[in-house]
Amino acid sequence: MEERIKKLKKEKNAVILAHNYQPPEIQDIADFVGDSLELSRKAASVDAEVIVFCGVYFMAETANILSPEKVTLLPDIYAGCQLADMITVQALREKKKEYPGAAVVCYVNSPAAVKAESDICCTSANALAVVNSLKDFDKIIFVPDKNLGSYVASKTSKEIILWDGYCPTHNDIEVGQIAKLKENYPHAVFMAHPECRPEVLALADEVLGTSDMLKFASKSSANEIIVGTEEGMVYRLQKDNPEKKFIKIERAICKDMKIITLDKIEKSLKNLEPKVVVPNEVRVKAKESVNRMMKIS
């Protein structure tokens, strides 16, 4: 199947992008593996007509926002994001009415229409820098992840109005699980994703998005690292740093990330479906919000 996928890729002038949370076999056949923003930037810069985005819906949307001239395929159109589904444009408009003087910062894990309705987008890696860059605003509506929002709130002097959204995979990671792992691996460093709950982050040696986890792991002198995020990341870290031991958190699995299969990639390349297309009026506004972020990081 891998050979057939490679052949189809050539025929269609396509490139395969895989998120850090994708299953091993998908990461292994991808041309690039990374976080959602790295991949969308790659989608925009690469010389290909077709992007096969192995990730979830909002990520394929972001790729399409940045490069509408290319065909963006999501091999399973039902690969959604429960966090992104916890906000709608209508609900955000209501919240804006409640806080008329506030700026809206939206985490990249949000629908394109919510990005279009926001002042600026952010990732887990740059959320604090983005919030602090808004010099004219003391109040920020931060959507949709309450855990990332409260982490930012703990590091800034601005007032952060939280949205009641969360990533179930990260939110379900429990203090007890971390305590047990720390007991079993007393010399391990614990790095946690800011989508984890505050009490889990309180136990972390480092709070990092996936791109920064990779940088940290390669530079750190620690030989054992507990990885407080989705388990696909453990595969990526182990592959890049074979001499170190990476310890996963049991049950930290995003089911949506795992519904992409080699079989679906092959079908998708054959039929050039299912496509993700962001309507132009949404795309233009969402791109402004993404571009403002890119100027900062």
The residues of the shown chain that bind ligand CIZ, judged by CB under 6 A, are 19, 35-37, 108-109, 123-124, 193, 209-211
Cβ-based nearer residue to ligand CIZ, 12 or 40: 40
- Shortest approach of ligand CIZ to residue 245 CB, angstroms? 22
| CB of residue 33 to ligand CIZ, shortest distance in Å | 11
Measured from the CB atom, the residue of 72 and 123 that comes closer to ligand CIZ is: 123
Q: How far is the CB of 92 from ligand CIZ (least distance, A)?
A: 19
* Minimum distance, C-beta of residue 136 to ligand CIZ, in the bound complex (Å): 26
Please tell me whether the peptide bond between 194 and the residue prior to it is cis, using omega within 30 degrees of 0.
Answer: no
Shorter beta-carbon distance to ligand CIZ: residue 27 or 124: 124
Within 10 Å of residue 295's Cβ, how many Cβ atoms? 8
**Least separation, in Å, of the C-beta of 138 and ligand CIZ?**
27
Nearer to ligand CIZ, 33 or 102 (CB): 33
CB < 8 Å & 24+ apart, contacts of 185-190: 185/224, 185/226, 185/247, 187/222, 187/223, 187/224, 188/222, 188/224, 188/225, 188/226, 188/245, 188/247, 189/220, 189/222, 189/224, 189/225, 189/226, 190/225, 190/226, 190/228
Residues ≥6 apart with Cβ < 8 Å to 100: none
Q: Is the bond into 274 cis (omega within 30 degrees of 0)?
A: yes
Distance CA 128, CA 35 (A): 17
Nearer to ligand CIZ, 37 or 74 (CB): 37
